[in-house]
Amino acid sequence: MLIVESLKKKFQLEETEVRAVDGVSFEVAAGEVYGLLGPNGAGKTTTLRMILGLVKPDAGYAEVSGYRTRTDPSAVKSRLGFVSASDGVYPWLSVREMLLYFADLYGVEPTEAASRCEQLSELMGIKPLLDRRAGSLSTGQRQRVILVRGLIHDPPVMLLDEPTRGLDVVGVQTIFEYIKNLRELGKAVVVCTHRLDEAERLCDRFGLLHQGTMHRTGTLQELRQQSGHDHLVEMFVELLGS
Amino acid sequence: MAGTRIEGRLWRLCQKELRETIRDRRTIFTLLLMPLLVYPIMSMALNRFLLTSGEIDDGYTICVATDMERDILDQWLSSPLSVPPEAILESSGNELAKFNAIIIPGISPAEAVLSNQADVGLQLSNLETGIPTATFYAYRGDNVSQAARRVVVERLQWLKLSQAEILLKQRTKDYRPPLTVQAEDVGEVEENSMLATIVPLVLVLMTITGAVYPAIDLTAGERERGTMEAVMASPVPRGYVLFSKYTAVVAVALLTAVANLIAMFTTLWAGGLLGLLTGGDAFPWITILQMLALLVLFSGFFAAILLSLTSFAKSFKEAQAYLIPVMLLSLTPAMLSLMPGITLTGALTVLPLINIVLLARDLLSGSADPSNAFVAIVSTTAYAAAALSVAAKLFGSDAVTRTSDKSIGSMLRRPRESSPVPTPQAAALMLALLVPAYFLVSNGLIRFIGNSDGIDIQWTLLLNALALIFTFGVLPITAAWLSRNNFKTTFQLRPAGIMSFIGATLLGLGAWAFAHEAFVIADALGIGGLSEQQIERAKASIEKMREASPILLIAAFALTPAVIEELCFRGYLFSATSGVVSPFRTVLITAFLFGLFHVLTGNALLVERFIPSTLMGLIIGWVAYQTQSVLPGIVIHFVHNGLLNTVLYYQEQLSFLGEGFDNQAHLPPLWLSIACVLVLTGAALVWLANRRRNGNNDSISGDTITK
């Protein structure tokens, strides 16, 4: 479903050159949740942005359902759903107007968009919020609206960048339910997070990213065998210390 | 079906942008409350201005102390003898000033003037002698009061003179007046409606007011809200999103303009000033419709310009920093419409913004020329389209960046690693500094030479060369040094073959004729052209130049500009531009800038220099592209300037060649043919000398020019 092959990206920050992503590769199948894990600045978000076509890679490629970002960006974008913790809302639009606007951006027919809007709102428990102004929502409500927004065009691949950042216990639980639901729907999901405990509970396979390089990849069992540690936190402590 | 779907989708996208903008209370405040507040205040100020400037002609008030004094004054002023002679009356518009004599109980005439209750105060004394003395009081520094006193004193002087003349005629039979004065008018009556001059200015202001906030909010605001990344992650064509934003900005600008228009006219009507401003009693429906049509054009143009700027900005603050200078700059051409003698003809029909302001003025005064109006509308539409395409390219191009990542300090810090060519941003900054630096240096030089009596011509030439070096030389070199650009690639200091130099020499020898022809054609089209005064001044300068040594003249006017200007335009700017656009556009852009800087000379705009200089810029730019070197361009520039200056220097000795240098006529066919052969041969040599390399490489000089 999603193939990432040898992606590389360098940035020039003031006077120094930073290798944000250095040859990252992984694959995610339909119905699989892949945890792209790493501390802040590991290159997780840059990798997602390269998959989306928002950042041009220096080398490598990303492929979604047989389409490559570089050669067919529109086909890739229409097959990707993207949710980021730093995403905002249009404060003067109602939740419904905002969701339908994004449906339009993805070329979803208005009748289908309206029906999906109702369906997803029901699922995520935001139906009472649909006619409220988006600017008046709480952080948790806003995050749920953004999750619905990411699914409005029914993409086969979902990219979630730090989806639980800034949320309380109930909010985090909602995200978990959402991801489980995505898995059941047969979507390929990439979750970027530095919350390793959450990732352990959620993801089927993992990629441990540090300073732009993929250090370990596999299921939790495989990682345990490779590292000799039981938990992802311990594996990262070892990685950061090396 | 697909078309309908696209239209429907676009319409929904536009609706979203409009909703988002209109629901914002700040927009509503700007849109409706500001005009409601501003115009009544403006109307009051205008009323006061009109009253104090005497445009509302109820006459001047003269305060006297007694009824007797009032009767005497009325008798004097109503006497036909106090009326000025016909010639004088005609020259002041056949209008006789009105005076109202009043008595204010309890205060003296002087006190009445002091307390601003009368324009003039009159006190009569010595009445018992039969030769009364009239003392008139006026408020010191008050123009109206002073003018009223001047007029009334003049009227009484005429009374005295007329009576004296009558007496003289009675007593002296052979009395002859010393002279007869007549006043004649020439030219046609110019429609001088105040509305036509004020409205374009107000139009610009209100359109900007309406467009600025939504332009910033819908572009830079997307980044600050954190919605830009999600929008750009969608497969919607970028042009669709930008078009919907453009529609919203135009719509809000139009709404603001219409709200302002309604508020303005309602206020004027309520204040009783409408008739005075429109020059008639009828409500100016046609004028209002014309203004609405102009508003659409204005809004379309401004919205595109604003969006192209705000799309570049990464935050509200940055967008505001870009827009404030644009808003201030917009006021300058708007002010032009207030000046008499500026007409919508020639080059002004295609000058952005100025053409629209002048067209607005002409439409409102009923004197618009259809062909000039057409050119102005088409060119403005083209500028709007160009600005919109720039905006579409910039919008969301750096969607993941939310704020400016560079501090002001980083702009002055040299990077550790060198780069082959300047960035477009660095080149834009250098250009932005070059304009004021050039303005200050050239004006300073002109003032210095003007104030220094008898300054040696040798010194004048030396100062000219130094001014050029300190602007077009020092600034690009400093910019390249600060950015640690490789000097060889930045200034295109690559060697060129001998054939290229021969070709460049021939081009320099022949190009002047085409520059001259371009000048003559531009003059015929009404673009610039030299006035008699300018020609006389140029002749005087040439005459003065002949006092200098020819070698110094060539060094100052040929060698220095050739080296310095080429390093700046075909070196620094060419390499910076070629990194981002095609070679064709690089040549066009640098030639345009070259032409533009030749227009800016001192504090005057020498528009007539634009076309010949741009033409030269195109020729030299093409050679720079072919040879990838600035050196052949220096040769062309040197030969061209050197040839012209030599001819001017030895004009008298060359008079056997016939007329042609001195006037603004086309060159003789023989001269043109020779020039044509020289240019074609030169171009062919340059092309042939570089054909193999250019043909082999798709990428000419990988570090600078990409085909």
For residue B41, what pLDDT is reported? 77
Residue A55: its chain B contacts at CB < 8 A?
Answer: 400
The string of pLDDT tens digits covering residues A64-100 is 998 998 889 999 999 999 998 888 899 999 999 999 9
Tell which residue, B587, B588, B576, B241, has the closest CA to residue B391: B241
Tell whether A149 and A234 lie within a shared domain: no
For residue B411, what pLDDT is reported? 57
Tell whether A126 and A196 lie within a shared domain: no
* Residue B8: both structure tokens together: 């429907």
Assembly ipTM: 0.92
- Whether B212 has a pLDDT exceeding 50, the answer reads yes
Rg over alpha carbons for chain B, rounded to the nearest Å, is 33
Distance in Å, alpha carbon of B11 to nearest chain A alpha carbon: 10
CB contact under 8 A, A102 and B230: yes
Residue B410: its chain A contacts at CB < 8 A?
Answer: 14
Q: What is the mean pLDDT of residues B72-91?
A: 84
Q: What is the mean pLDDT of residues B462-487?
A: 89
* Residue A194: both structure tokens together: 């530095």
Tell which residue, B564, B551, B538, B552, has the closest CA to residue B457: B552
Q: What is the mean pLDDT of residues B160-188?
A: 79
If pLDDT is split at 50, 70 and 90, which confidence band does B403 have? very low
If pLDDT is split at 50, 70 and 90, which confidence band does B561 have? very high
Max mean pLDDT among B163-167, B357-361, B500-504 falls in B500-504
Give me the residue from B8, B21, B229 closest to A84, CB to CB.
B229
Give the span between the Cα atoms of A105 and A121, in whole angstroms: 19
- Whether B604 has a pLDDT exceeding 80, the answer reads no
CB contact under 8 A, A74 and B232: no
- Whether B334 has a pLDDT exceeding 50, the answer reads yes
Tell which residue, B416, B303, B42, has the closest CA to residue B198: B42
Tell whether A70 and A136 lie within a shared domain: no
- Whether B617 has a pLDDT exceeding 80, the answer reads yes
Give the span between the Cα atoms of B611 and B517, in whole angstroms: 10
Q: What is the mean pLDDT of residues B320-326?
A: 81
If pLDDT is split at 50, 70 and 90, which confidence band does A236 have? confident
Tell which residue, B126, B152, B127, has the closest CA to residue B137: B152
CB < 8 Å from B in window 72-91 of A: 73-75, 77-78, 80, 82, 84, 86-91
Alpha helix locations (H) across B547-668?
Answer: 550-554, 560-566, 574-578, 583-599, 610-627, 631-649
Give the span between the Cα atoms of B580 and B423, in whole angstroms: 9
Tell whether A7 and A127 lie within a shared domain: no
Give the span between the Cα atoms of B432 and B573, in whole angstroms: 12
Asked if the structure places residue A122 within a domain, the reply is yes
A81 forms beta bridges with A158
- Pairs from B347-351 (Cβ < 8 Å, separation ≥ 24): B347/B526, B347/B527, B347/B528, B347/B607, B347/B610, B349/B375, B349/B376, B349/B379, B350/B375, B350/B376, B350/B379
Q: Range of A147's domain?
A: 89-154
CB contact under 8 A, A88 and B400: no
CB contact under 8 A, A88 and B225: yes
Residue B13: its chain A contacts at CB < 8 A?
Answer: 101, 104-105
Give the C-alpha distances (Å, rounded to integers) separating A134 from A142, A153, B160, B224, B227: 7, 20, 85, 16, 12
The string of pLDDT tens digits covering residues A102-133 is 999 999 999 999 999 999 898 888 899 999 99
Tell whether A42 and A144 lie within a shared domain: no
Max mean pLDDT among B14-28, B102-116, B352-366, B438-452 falls in B102-116
Give me the residue from B16, B232, B415 closest to A93, CB to CB.
B16
* Chain A residue with the nearest C-alpha to that of B21: A92
Residue with tokens 């082959």: B420
* Residue B654: both structure tokens together: 């060359």
Count H helices and E strands in chain B, helices first: 29, 6
The string of pLDDT tens digits covering residues B508-525 is 998 888 877 877 777 776
φ and ψ at residue B527, rounded to 5 degrees: -90, 105
CATH number at residue A32: 3.40.50.300
Tell whether A163 and A199 lie within a shared domain: yes
Asked if the structure places residue A190 within a domain, the reply is yes
Choice between B283 and B14, residue whose per-residue pLDDT is larger:
B14
For residue B193, what pLDDT is reported? 58
Give the C-alpha distances (Å, rounded to integers) separating B589 from B127, B386, B417, B505: 82, 14, 28, 24
DSSP B350-396: TSTTHHHHHHHHHHHTT---HHHHHHHHHHHHHHHHHHHHHHHHHTT
How far from the centroid of its chain's Cα atoms is residue B544's Cα?
32
CB contact under 8 A, B225 and A54: no
A83 forms beta bridges with A160
φ and ψ at residue B122, rounded to 5 degrees: -130, 130
Tell me whether A11 touches chain B (CB under 8 Å).
no
Total domain count for chain A?
2
Give me the residue from B232, B235, B400 closest to A107, CB to CB.
B235
Specify the amino acid at residue B543.
E
- Whether B138 has a pLDDT exceeding 90, the answer reads yes
Q: What is the mean pLDDT of residues B232-255?
A: 89
Q: If you ran DSSP here, which 8-state letter would residue B292 be given? A: H
* Chain B residue with the nearest C-alpha to that of A110: B9
Choice between B493 and B437, residue whose per-residue pLDDT is larger:
B493
The string of pLDDT tens digits covering residues A203-224 is 999 999 988 899 888 998 898 8
Tell whether A106 and A61 lie within a shared domain: no
Alpha helix locations (H) across B228-353?
Answer: 228-232, 238-270, 274-278, 285-310, 316-336
Of A124, A154, A184, the residue at which a domain comes to its end is A154
B407 by DSSP, 3-state: which?
coil
Choice between A92 and B313, residue whose per-residue pLDDT is larger:
A92
Of A100, A135, A154, the residue at which a domain comes to its end is A154
For residue B142, what pLDDT is reported? 83
- Whether B401 has a pLDDT exceeding 80, the answer reads no
% of chain B surpassing 70 pLDDT: 80
φ and ψ at residue B99, rounded to 5 degrees: -130, 135
Give the C-alpha distances (Å, rounded to integers) separating B177 from B91, B166, B513: 20, 11, 62
Residue with tokens 């220094």: B452
- Three-state SS annotation for B416-436: CCCECCCCHHHHHHHHHHHHH
Tell whether A179 and A235 lie within a shared domain: yes
Asked if the structure places residue A84 within a domain, the reply is no
Tell whether A160 and A236 lie within a shared domain: yes
Q: What is the mean pLDDT of residues B170-176?
A: 81
* Residue A145: both structure tokens together: 């609206």
If pLDDT is split at 50, 70 and 90, which confidence band does B671 have? confident
* Residue B645: both structure tokens together: 């200056």
Give the span between the Cα atoms of B343 and B337, in whole angstroms: 9
Q: Best interface-test mutation with B: which of A54, A97, A157 has the largest number of B CBs within 10 A?
A: A54
For residue B319, what pLDDT is reported? 84
* Residue B172: both structure tokens together: 């002296």
Of A133, A154, A175, the residue at which a domain comes to its end is A154
Asked if the structure places residue A22 within a domain, the reply is yes
Give the C-alpha distances (Å, rounded to integers) separating B164 from B73, B74, B124, B142, B158: 19, 20, 21, 33, 10
Instruction: Find out whether A203 and A33 touch, Cβ atoms under 8 Å.
Output: yes
For residue B416, what pLDDT is reported? 72
Chain B positions contacting chain A at CB under 8 Å are 8-9, 12-13, 16, 19-21, 23-24, 225-227, 229-236, 241, 399-400, 405-406, 410, 413, 415-417
Chain mean pLDDT for chain B: 79
Task: Show the domains of chain B with their CATH numbers.
Answer: 12-52+192-394 (no CATH), 60-171 (3.40.190), 421-696 (no CATH)
Give the span between the Cα atoms of A148 and A141, in whole angstroms: 11
Tell whether A54 and A142 lie within a shared domain: no
Asked if the structure places residue A109 within a domain, the reply is yes
Asked if the structure places residue A118 within a domain, the reply is yes
The string of pLDDT tens digits covering residues B265-302 is 777 777 766 666 565 666 667 777 777 787 888 888 88
Residue B230: its chain A contacts at CB < 8 A?
Answer: 82, 84, 87, 102, 149
Asked if the structure places residue A105 within a domain, the reply is yes
- Whether B341 has a pLDDT exceeding 80, the answer reads no
Choice between B184 and A68, residue whose per-residue pLDDT is larger:
A68
Tell whether A161 and A148 lie within a shared domain: no
For residue B657, what pLDDT is reported? 58
Tell me whether A154 touches chain B (CB under 8 Å).
no
Tell whether A55 and A131 lie within a shared domain: no
Distance in Å, alpha carbon of B315 to nearest chain A alpha carbon: 15
Q: What is the mean pLDDT of residues A137-147?
A: 88
Asked if the structure places residue A103 within a domain, the reply is yes
Max mean pLDDT among A141-150, B177-186, B316-325 falls in A141-150
